[in-house]
Amino acid sequence: MPKPIYVLSGPNLNLLGTREPEIYGHQTLNDVQALCAARAAAFGCEVVFRQSNHEGELVDWIQEAREKASALVLNPAAYGHTSVALLDALKMLVIPVIECHLSNPAAREEFRRQTYVSLAATGVISGFGAASYELAVEAAAGLIGAAKR
């Protein structure tokens, strides 16, 4: 089995299901984790699924992914628009990085339309609600060749 796909989520995503459900949907972060695990299993992969409201902890996990992950799915949430630290950590990776968003940032406020994470991402998936995570895990599996096994 390949190294796991890391799936990391940034601030306020622990409140999925109750936080602005008209934008982010009614599924909880536990629901999203289950979707990711099931999608990864379909490709013979596992996920390491984590969420933090703390930028430094996300940086630590991205650095950990350098050695322990086959790919990284990252929903940086608000940190995508503000964190050069996340960008710098991502630039050290040689594994695929999929940026993931529940909503479509391009259709929202002007300040949400660009992210630092996009500068280091292999690809971006957004606007499909919780399915964005599933699609990102599937893309990661394809990029590491798991889809061919």
d(CA 113, CA 80): 10
Our answer to whether residue 133 is catalytic in this structure is no
Q: Of these residues, 6, 24, 116, 133, which one is catalytic?
A: 24
Task: With beta carbons less than 8 A apart as the criterion, state whether 100 and 73 touch.
Answer: yes
Our answer to whether residue 116 is catalytic in this structure is no
Q: Of these residues, 79, 101, 116, 133, which one is catalytic?
A: 101
Q: Which of 78, 66, 80 is nearest to 117 (CA)?
A: 80
Q: Which of 81, 67, 65 is nearest to 11 (CA)?
A: 81
Catalytic residues: 24, 101
